[in-house]
């Protein structure tokens, strides 16, 4: 878990569908028994036998390496802003290569 971000996922695929559910909270919520606080929760399910979808973990590592993501997201806690921020981060990473 990156600071302020939680990414729950099943240990084993339970269907062939790949999907994500995004929740953005303006106020931090207690995530676990250690009282870690999160503002962004992304539920992830990678479908059975979908090897291409496993690339999402590589993308997440790049996205969550941006330490300012939560701060930028909380300035405008909307899904549209989330998508813009994610695209900008990924474009920056791709252009560095």
Question: What is the band of 2 on the pLDDT scale with cuts at 50, 70, 90?
Answer: low
Buried b (16+ CB within 10 A) or exposed e, 1-10: ebebbbbeee
**Burial class of residue 18 in the structure, from the number of CB atoms within 10 Å of its CB (0-12 exposed, 13-18 middle, 19+ buried):** middle
What is the chain's length?
97
β strands within the chain, DSSP E: 4-6, 19-30, 37-45
Quick: pLDDT tens for 27-70: 999 999 999 999 999 999 988 888 888 788 888 888 888 888 88
Q: What is the pLDDT, as a whole number, of residue 97?
A: 60
For 33, the domain range is 4-96
Buried b (16+ CB within 10 A) or exposed e, 56-88: beeebeebbebeebbeebbeeeeeeebeebbee
Q: Which secondary-structure segment (H or E) carries 84?
A: helix 79-96
- CATH code at 35? 3.40.930.10
Per the structure, the count of domains in the chain is 1
Mean pLDDT of 14-25: 90
């Amino acid at each position: 878990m990156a600071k302020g971000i939680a990414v729950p996922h099943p240990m084993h695929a339970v269907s062939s569908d790949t999907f994500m559910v995004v929740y953005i909270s303006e106020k931090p919520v207690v995530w676990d028994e250690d009282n870690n606080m999160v503002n962004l929760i992304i539920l992830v399910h990678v479908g059975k036998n979908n090897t291409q979808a496993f690339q999402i973990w590589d993308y997440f590592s790049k996205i969550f390496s941006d330490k300012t993501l939560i701060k930028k997201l909380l300035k405008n806690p909307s899904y549209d802003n989330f998508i813009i921020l994610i695209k900008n981060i990924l474009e920056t990473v791709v252009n560095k290569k």
